[in-house]
Amino acid sequence: MTTTSFRAKAPQEVKSLSELHALPIVVPNERYGFALDTFQVFESQITNGSFLGDILLKFNIDYPSIEQLVRNAKGTFDVRRFQAGKPYTVLTKDSTQRADYFIYEPNAYEYIVFHLQDSLQVEKVEREITTEIRTASGKIPQGGSLWKTMSDQNLSPALADKMEDALQWSLDFTRLQAGDEFKLVYEQRFIEDQEVGIGRVEAALYKTGENEFYAIYYDDGAKNEGYYDLEGHPMKGSFLKAPVRASRISSYYNLNRLHPILKYRRPHYGTDYAAPYGTEILAVGNGVILQSSYTKGNGNFVKIKHDDTYQTQYLHMQRFAKGIHPGAHVKQGQVIGYVGSTGLATGPHVCFRFWKNGKQVNHLNMTFPPANPLPDELMPEFNVLKDGYLSMLNSIDQPAVAVKKKAEQVAEAAGNPVAGQP
């Protein structure tokens, strides 16, 4: 219908508009900021041994342009770091001519755009991440573990790690018991409506026997940031409960143990944490490296001085972490080595030893005073946030609508809207 006839026949104009409104709306296929429907699209994956030049030559990009792209990429992306199996896309208006764009995706959070026409520029684009507040709960079965319990509920293994981050100063995750219960409020991250990872655990409750352990994340925007208990005391204590995550205790502190290799009884002044080869070993507290060495019995080991009272030692390491040497300062939770079986060891584990005033003691029996609480002027704000999270934790077994409503209330109090909220 021409413009003239459209204007000349008003009744037909109305009918045509009605018909147009009845047609399905075609949503443009947009990705990487481009309308893909306007290009010929070639999608593939990086293969072993392939280079940028190998790919671009197939799309009529000459050597001088490839060399210029490599130079322009410096400071944005190292073209030597293409990984096999990662996806890439080539956009071209005409497959017989020079391609227009090459797009590489190193991970879900960003992509690299190579402009193949006149500019030959290279840019890194970070995808927008949205966050949704979610809840989870579970109960440890007989013979089970935290990680298996979460896996059985189709929860991300990363959530177990995040939960341990929140409660690692209160709980030894190698000593969980059947019947223990947990509840969590956490962030689920999305890119373009696809789940891409777990954010922060905002609140956690772990119940074992008659004891309940809480962790509430609070940030005043200044110097007070981290996990706090219900009274506003920092969760971060002087020492972590264990030097290895996702492990189990294979041998306890015992002054009359039968040595598994030497076959005679002698004191065992440490606690053995069994874990797979290469598992990260963490410094349980801030301190200075006294020794990082090897002996026939200890294998590769590290000894740390934390202050004039406490020292810790980590035996049978596979290897030391980078930068671990006598005199080096380490922070609580820093990786200092990796689980192995060097020295007198029957399998991969770390023998963890703890000194107090020069005497080796059983660290599992020790308690330390809590850190100072939040300043009085911050407690009202903290209590509002805490009460909201406690209400969410208590509502986990209630209908999902109630949980979502509470999530919105807590997020509003924290100044951090949940996904989908203005």
Q: Phi/psi of residue 388, each to 5°?
A: -65, -45
Say what the pLDDT of residue 256 is. Answer: 56
CATH number at residue 149: 3.10.450.350
Separation of alpha carbons 240 and 166, rounded Å: 11
Mean pLDDT of 364-387: 88
- Band of residue 192 on the pLDDT scale cut at 50, 70, 90: confident
Asked whether residue 71 is assigned to any structural domain, the reply reads yes
| Of 2 and 340, the one with more pLDDT | 340
**Percent of the chain predicted with pLDDT > 70:** 84
| Same-domain pairing of 41 and 120 | yes
> Can you give the three-state secondary structure of the chain, one letter per residue?
CCHHHHHHCHHHHHHHHHHHHHCCCCCCCEECCEEHHHCEEEEEECCCCCCHHHHHHCCCCCHHHHHHHHHHHCCCCCHHHCCCCCEEEEEECCCCCCCCEEEEEEECCEEEEEECCCCCCEEEEECCCEEEEEEEEEECCCCCCHHHHHHHCCCCHHHHHHHHHHHCCCCCCCCCCCCCEEEEEEEEEEECCEEEEEEEEEEEEEEECCEEEEEEEEECCCCCEEEECCCCCECCCCCCCCCCCCCEEEECCEEEEECCCCCCEEEECEEEEECCCCCEEECCCCEEEEEEEEECCCEEEEEEECCCCEEEEEEEEEEECCCCCCCCEECCCCEEEEEECCCCCCCCEEEEEEEECCEEECHHHCCCCCCCCCCHHHHHHHHHHHHHHHHHHHCCCCCHHHHHHHHHHHHHHHCCCCCCCC
Asked whether residue 422 is assigned to any structural domain, the reply reads no
From residue 304, alpha-carbon distances to 182, 301, 410 in Å are 33, 10, 41
The total domain count for the chain is 3
| Same-domain pairing of 339 and 386 | no
| Same-domain pairing of 295 and 205 | no
| Same-domain pairing of 253 and 359 | yes
CATH number at residue 261: 2.70.70.10
| Same-domain pairing of 270 and 292 | yes
Asked whether residue 168 is assigned to any structural domain, the reply reads yes
| Same-domain pairing of 142 and 222 | yes
| Same-domain pairing of 184 and 270 | no
Say what the pLDDT of residue 22 is. Answer: 53
- pLDDT 10s digits, 263-300: 555 577 889 999 999 999 999 988 899 999 999 999 99
Asked whether residue 133 is assigned to any structural domain, the reply reads no
Q: What is the pTM of this model?
A: 0.64
Shortest CA distance to 88 belongs to which of 109, 114, 65, 66? Answer: 114
Asked whether residue 155 is assigned to any structural domain, the reply reads yes
Residues 118/132, Cβ–Cβ less than 8 Å: no
Separation of alpha carbons 57 and 54, rounded Å: 6
| Of 406 and 197, the one with more pLDDT | 197
The pair of structure tokens assigned to 321 is 């972490």
| Same-domain pairing of 317 and 358 | yes
Say what the pLDDT of residue 267 is. Answer: 76
- Band of residue 258 on the pLDDT scale cut at 50, 70, 90: low
| Same-domain pairing of 281 and 344 | yes
Shortest CA distance to 282 belongs to which of 178, 161, 145? Answer: 161
Residues 160/148, Cβ–Cβ less than 8 Å: no
- For the chain, the average pLDDT equals 84
Domain extent for 210: 138-234+373-414
Last residue of a domain, one of 126, 157, 180: 126
